[in-house]
Every structure is written in structure tokens, then in C-alpha cells.
Structure 1
Amino acid sequence: MVLDITNPPSDSRDHRQVVWNERFAADVKHKAQMWFREDFGLESDWTSRALVPLAAKSSLAIVVRMNGVIAGLPAVEVVVDEFQESLVWAAVICDGDRVQAGDVIGYLSGSVSSILQIERVILNLVGRLSGIATTTRHLVDAIQETSCRIYDTRKTVPGWRLLDKYAVTCGGGYNHRMGLYDAILIKDNHLAALREEGVSPADAVRRSREFISRAFTADRANEMVVEVEVDSLGQLANVLPALPDIVLLDNMSIDELRQSVALREKKFPEVILEASGGVTLKNISAIAKSGVDRISTGAPIHTSSWLDVGLDWGSVSCAEHE
């Protein structure tokens, strides 16, 4: 794994959560080299070299142009350090902070040429991650009167999963499984592949439990969450006696969600219910009020708009031209 990840203390059956640490920073450092190659290729920034005095220095503010929630500032520090130029980055707020249009989030000081070369990488990084955090916060705020939680999905940009999921946590959301390696999630496609064997959702849960007991140590087995997807009340009734940790209720109506909660409460209150599919800012409150424990949605990551972030230049001192 790239990260140290921890389970939220409220429920040992929950998924692991992304946290910022040195191992995460090392992953961003690796990505930064790719981002630099995208801009410079194997050559240079010829515009800056043609026009900007070599000794020109400046200090600029990174400013948000719209209201939102910030994410990605520790990653900016890594990117600046990895650029290997005499630049200094100083954040003045923290990830997860709400901001208003015009707020300064940090200052970048040093060589004007270097600033011009690195600015787009920084703005792309903060703009994208802050957009995810902002969209997540809107969803979280919409259900704040309930105990329901918002979770992300694996619908992330390839190579950006840890950053995308980190941004979700900055917006007050929670991380679903990191990948295929840290939980069992029995989807409709798994059941379709086993249709000729007549495997029901309950059968799949039991088979998964048996596999876990054989394949993993006791400690790892206890950490392995088993979740199963159903799309009807009949499937839910079938799977509840098998006691999965979580049942994902896929694309159910609000009335079906309420009935699912009532069915669960009768005999299997320990099973977590997760609603998913068709989640929007308009309907998320009604979904949460149905009584489900959690809502998973890819919307914060794959439908969010970037937060508009820009640079405000200070004075430029110049001694010589390149």
C-alpha cells in the first residue's frame, strides 16, 4: 500500500480512510515528476526563458475566485519541493477549510521564471481537489440533520485515486474501499457470472466468508468487510440471514429504501444498509431520511466542477536578463 490508513473508531466494519502522511507525500512526489514532464517534455519553458530576467524575484498569492472548500495544500508543498528550484510555499489555511471568493490560501515566493513554470501544476492540483471537496461538502451539509454518512466510490481518475479520495475526506465525506484488495464487494456482475450455478446473494456471502477464513490470518480476516449488492426487496430478504457486514441497495426508490430499513430492523439490525445509484443534491436528503446508514456516490469525484483558483502577483524585483 502507498498509505497508512486507519479505520474510523465508530465502527470496526468500516472501510479504511486516507490520511496524509509521509508515504502519501512520496506518492505525490512520484506523480509530480509526471506532471512536470507533461509541461516540459524533455526540454524547457521557452516562453519564460525568452522573456523573463533570470534574476527576477517575486511573491504571489494563490487566491480562490469562488466560495468552496480547500483540499490539496500539503501536496502543493511536495510539488514545490520536488521542483528543485529556490521557491518557498507558505499555506495560510488548512485542507477542509471553507473559503470565500477573494480569500488567499497561500503564498509562493522566489524566481519568477520558476513560478511561471510551476503555476499550472499547482492550480490544477488545488482546483481539482478543492472542487471534489466542495461538492462533497454540499452533499454532507444536505444530510446534516441525519446520522447518515456520505461515501465515495472507485470511480476515480486513473492514478489519482488516493488524491481524489483524500479530497472527499476534506469535504467531510468518507472513503469506500480503496481498491479490490481491501474489501469484498459482491456486485451484480459477480452474481451474473455465477448465474448458471444458481448462486444467490446469500450463497455468495457465505462463500466469501468461507474463503476469508481459509485465505487470511485471523487479524486480517476480522478486518475484511463483506458487502453485497441487491436491487430488490426479495434479494434483501434472501441475503440478510447470511449477515453480510453491509448491503448495498442499488437504485431503489425512496419507498423501497424505507421498506428495506424496516425489513432490516425486524431481525438483523446489525447489518449496515448503504444506498447507491442516482444520488443528487436534490434527492440526497430524502435518501438519508429513509433510515439507511450510508450513501455511496461517485458524484463528488466524477461530476464536480473545479474550484476557480488563480495567482495574484506582487512586486517583481529584477537585476539582470537571461
Structure 2
Amino acid sequence: MDELLENDLRQLVRLSIAEDLDVALDWTTVAMIDSERRGACQIVARGAGVSAGIALTPWIIDEFDADLEVEVLVGEGVRFEPGTPLVQLSGSARDLLTSERVTLNLLSRMCGVATLTRHYVDRIEGTNARLYDTRKTTPGWRRLEKYAVTCGGGHNHRTGLYDGFLIKDNHLALGRSSQSPDQPLSALEAATRAVAMRGGQVNQLLAPRMVEIEVDGLDQFEQVLETGIDIILLDNFSLEDLRAAVAARDAAGVSVELEASGNVNIDTIAAVAATGVDRISSGALTHQATWLDLGMDWVQT
């Protein structure tokens, strides 16, 4: 499992514990439950969904320093029906109660992202298009939400600003042409600059190799088609223009991938995929995902 993912999850769990306990105790549980009481419970799905984060539960419980054993009952990326047990926890009854809400919050969020992603992936089955997420993630949750996207069958776009060039309209608006400093940066010059920089060193840091540029029309698309970039993001293109871009790329015989983005939703994604684009990116996978309802049920041991 990814060490960076583990580090991010543990930091988030520590923050969540601080929110719940501050520097005190779970007073209700201390008052009601004997310290020697043992018990067992299962985290159970209240609705149908796709699992994500279930395999990470031991890391969550570990941050509570709890006297609990964790048994993971389903794999990641698995479809499940209402009533499916996902995890079993056993040990200190106090620790079960104190860790309940934080654990459910984290798993409910990740399963929700995976479930929505799978709905999108199902809509483009049979096409050549791959579904990608974006940086429109909950602050502090990026790696966790991106992990959940992969559990749902999606793919990860760049993680952050550090691991890929993505030239957008604001870069062109604020940048300036090297030939005419009073003119905005053209898509052609921007793409050429990034291609020249990729893989090189800047201030002793190694620049990323992936170069992508966002274009908002076929004119811009034609400017950058043969610049050697890896991906062209077709922003808010009509279906007709998406098909035209795919045809132009294929006719030129270049290996650049085409990515459709902008106003992609569950109702439109199948038609977008049918245009022949290689990639579809949507922020909806994370910013429109709702929590999956999970609960904790006590079991006899």
C-alpha cells in the first residue's frame, strides 16, 4: 500500500480524533461502560455501493491506540448490497464506541466516491475512453479521494501542481509572448515552452515529464496538435467538435491523447465517450459524491 496514502490517512485520523476528544475523554462511554467490558461489532452497509478504504481500517484503528482487532471482510473495489458486513472489530467495548464515528465518517466518504465513480465507469463501458478525476478534492483528502476513485474503476489525473504540466486559459491570459511582451501567451508558445522544460532541472528540482494543455476551440487545438505534448484537454467542446478533433488527430498520425472535460455528468458521459476521445475528466467524481450510509452493528462472539 502507498506510504504517502498511509501518511495522509493517519494525519486525517489524528485531526479527527482531536476534533472528537480534544484533550479530554469520551465522557459518556467512560461513565456508562466498564473498562473491562469486551465486545464485537461489524461495520455494515445500509445501501448498495462499492468498497473503498476498507483495507485501510487497521491504520484508522491504530491511530486510536485502541485495544481492538480488525478483520477486513471485503476487498477494495467490490460491489456490495445492503446488509453486507465490511469490517469486524473486536476488543475493548469502550474503544469500539470511541472510534465508531471517526471510522464510519472516513469509510462512508471513500465508499461514496468509489460508488459514484463506478456509476460513471459503467456508462462508458464498451468505449475506449478512460475516466479521470481532477484536483477538485476536499482539502486534506486528496490522496484518499483519488484512491477511492481508483477503487471505483477510475484513473488518477495528476496529484498536484508538482507532478505534471497543465497549461490552462489563465496561464495564457497572464503569461506574455517572448516575441511581443504586450501580447498574451499563445497556446503554441506555451506548449513549446513546457515541452522544452519537461524532464529538465529547474532550481535543482526535476521537472515532470507529462505535458497537457487546455484548449477551448478547434483553432487552438490545431495550433498545438503537433507540438509533442502528451495530452490535449478539450474544454467544453461540443460533441461535433470532439469528433472533429479526434478525426484531425488521427489524420495527422500523432500520438497525443485527447481528453474531454467540462460539464461532464452522468447523463452526458456516454455520448462524450462515443466521440472517440481517449480520456474524460470530471470533478464531479469527488465534489458531487455523497456519503454511503454505513452503520455499526453489535454481534455475538
- Alpha-carbon displacement from aligned partner over 1:226-282 (angstroms, at most 9, x marks no partner): 100001011101111213110000011111111111111111431100000101111
Shift of 1:214: 4.6
TM-align CA RMSD: 1.8
Shift of 1:30: 2.6
Residue equivalent to 1:284:
269
- Alpha-carbon displacement from aligned partner over 1:45-93 (angstroms, at most 9, x marks no partner): 1111121222221111110011110100132110112211211110111
Query: For residues 197 and 90 of structure 1, what CA distance do their matches in structure 2 show?
Result: 62
Of residues 135-144 and 54-63 in structure 1, the stretch that sits farther from structure 2 once superposed is: 54-63
1:202/1:240 contact within 8 Å kept: no
**Aligned: 1:93 with 2:74:** yes
**Aligned: 1:127 with 2:108:** yes
Aligned sequence identity (%): 45
Shift of 1:216: 6.2
Q: What count of residue pairs does the alignment treat as equivalent?
A: 295
TM-score normalised according to structure 1 size: 0.87
**Aligned: 1:309 with 2:294:** yes
Distance 1:201 1:268, change over 3 A: farther
**Aligned: 1:252 with 2:237:** yes
Query: For residues 107 and 213 of structure 1, what CA distance do their matches in structure 2 show?
Result: 47
Match of 1:179 among 160, 172, 193: 160
**Aligned: 1:201 with 2:187:** yes
Match of 2:214 among 229, 243, 247: 229
1:240/1:268 contact within 8 Å kept: no
Query: For residues 230 and 121 of structure 2, what CA distance do their matches in structure 1 show?
Result: 23
Matches within 5 A, 1:33-52: 33-52=14-33
- Alpha-carbon displacement from aligned partner over 1:87-134 (angstroms, at most 9, x marks no partner): 111011111111000101110111111111100111011100000000
Shift of 1:39: 0.3
Segments of structure 2 that go 5 or more residues without pairing to the other structure are 177-181
1:202/1:241 contact within 8 Å kept: no
Of residues 146-155 and 260-269 in structure 1, the stretch that sits farther from structure 2 once superposed is: 260-269
Shift of 1:23: 4.4
Query: For residues 273 and 124 of structure 1, what CA distance do their matches in structure 2 show?
Result: 36
Segments of structure 1 that go 5 or more residues without pairing to the other structure are 1-19, 317-322
Query: For residues 205 and 53 of structure 1, what CA distance do their matches in structure 2 show?
Result: 66
SS at match of 2:31: helix
Query: For residues 26 and 189 of structure 1, what CA distance do their matches in structure 2 show?
Result: 33
Matches within 5 A, 1:161-180: 161-180=142-161
- Alpha-carbon displacement from aligned partner over 1:272-293 (angstroms, at most 9, x marks no partner): 0000010111110000000100
SS at match of 1:197: coil
Query: For residues 4 and 241 of structure 2, what CA distance do their matches in structure 1 show?
Result: 43
Residue equivalent to 1:265:
250
Query: For residues 128 and 90 of structure 1, what CA distance do their matches in structure 2 show?
Result: 20
Query: For residues 239 and 22 of structure 1, what CA distance do their matches in structure 2 show?
Result: 37
Query: For residues 176 and 214 of structure 1, what CA distance do their matches in structure 2 show?
Result: 21
Aligned AA (2:13): A
SS at match of 1:178: coil
- Alpha-carbon displacement from aligned partner over 1:153-207 (angstroms, at most 9, x marks no partner): 0011111111010000000000000101110000011001025434211110111
Query: For residues 161 and 107 of structure 2, what CA distance do their matches in structure 1 show?
Result: 28
Residue equivalent to 1:7:
none
1:225/1:245 contact within 8 Å kept: yes
2:234/2:242 contact within 8 Å kept: yes
TM-score normalised according to structure 2 size: 0.93
